[in-house]
Structure 1
């Protein structure tokens, strides 16, 4: 009697590529780059961190010098439009491949940020260019944030650190000692700080286009290598 040959396991296509935790850390660095560009180079407005942007809008509405209601409102509206689009895409792909859906969204983000880099290279000082940069990057960040929210990877929102830092401190050994994702939380905070520092240095020494181009390349690379696994 012959022994049947075991059937080799079918490779899981979702597992191919870089795990989502690593990809989202790269995107957190990108968020720091983009907010450095928007805050330092586009009139003290955020296009990735909407918590800060709502506060900035309040400052601008009160007449605080150096802040712009039109710039900040443009950022908020375009971010919300991007998030709406991201939600619609997520609804269509909720039963499909997580890997393919994530890659498409990141590719779209890379194109939008790449478009903003092209605008910055062409006309970095024009008011219309500033509005275009704000609109393109804010829409891209809204699209990405809606996707990251649906992916639901804990402690890696890629743009907001308040709750991550709260959990890092409150669940530490000095808090309730229940924390089990402290390395991830720490990495997220460091990634954001690194992106902001690099972005600030590039803006101050090389203008707006180069950090935006770097952000687009990093996001495009993440789109190529992302898997569907955490």
Structure 2
């Protein structure tokens, strides 16, 4: 693993190095967060903003019954988080600080703040209340920061907040696609498959907790704690430099 955080597609066997494993865990967390956002706070996306853009488009066309206010709030909060994340992590790197750990530490803290804002709040699907949208906005700002962190690390096939590219790369570089542009014949398939499975597992776990009747605050405590654990786990690893 180079200091840039970029993994060479052809230089690694199909295994999970420390950084890659931690990013897979963060992908799992994204699945949990989106399950809470969609099933307990919305429907609204907080990490995958493509869905919110489409919700707003449907609302502009006045077609369907999906609310447009929550997606608009999420988009604005996500943009705010992305700007803050870029400025914060860029400044931290310029000062020689461990921007990856700092970014994840703030992310975990914000998820727990969102849990506090949703204390005792009942999971609700459809027509979210003001408190539901407040929690969703906090999560969207957090995921805006996460997207900055993921793009600065820039591990191919592991964006941590969506799996479309990971799935496409996995299939293109598989025995079915056989495309060398996607790393066919290398070990790149392992992390791509892990990313897809982690998102699925995180979404399943979050959905099961919502189904079990957990209030919003307890739904968010596990993902917040996991992100903080990932930040601590990376402390012994080499300092990253964004590419």
Normalising by structure 1, report the TM-score.
0.85
Query: Which protein shows a greater Rg?
Result: 1
CA distance, structure 2, for counterparts of residue 122 and residue 228 of structure 1: 40
Partner of 2:231: 223
Residues 159-174 of structure 1 mapped to structure 2, 5 A cutoff? 159-174=161-176
* Aligned 8 A contact 1:20 1:228 in 2: no
CA distance, structure 1, for counterparts of residue 103 and residue 111 of structure 2: 12
Partner of 1:211: 219
Paired residue secondary structure (2:66): coil
Equivalent residue pairs, number: 214
Unaligned runs of 5+ in 2: 6-16
* Aligned 8 A contact 2:119 2:215 in 1: no
Normalising by structure 2, report the TM-score.
0.81
Residues 88-103 of structure 1 mapped to structure 2, 5 A cutoff? 88-95=87-94, 97=96, 100-103=98-101
| CA gap 1:216/1:39 in 2 versus in 1, 3 angstroms | same
Partner of 1:5: none
* Aligned 8 A contact 2:120 2:216 in 1: no
Partner of 2:12: none
| 1:176 has 2:185 as partner | no
* Aligned 8 A contact 2:121 2:215 in 1: no
> Please, which moves more after superposition, 70-79 or 209-218?
209-218
Partner of 1:76: 75
Instruction: Tell me which protein shows more helix as a share of its residues.
Output: 1
CA distance, structure 2, for counterparts of residue 24 and residue 56 of structure 1: 28
* Aligned 8 A contact 1:202 1:208 in 2: no
* Aligned 8 A contact 2:32 2:207 in 1: yes
Partner of 1:30: 29
In the TM superposition, structure 1's runs of 4+ consecutive aligned residues that sit over 6 Å from their partners are none
Unaligned runs of 5+ in 1: 1-11
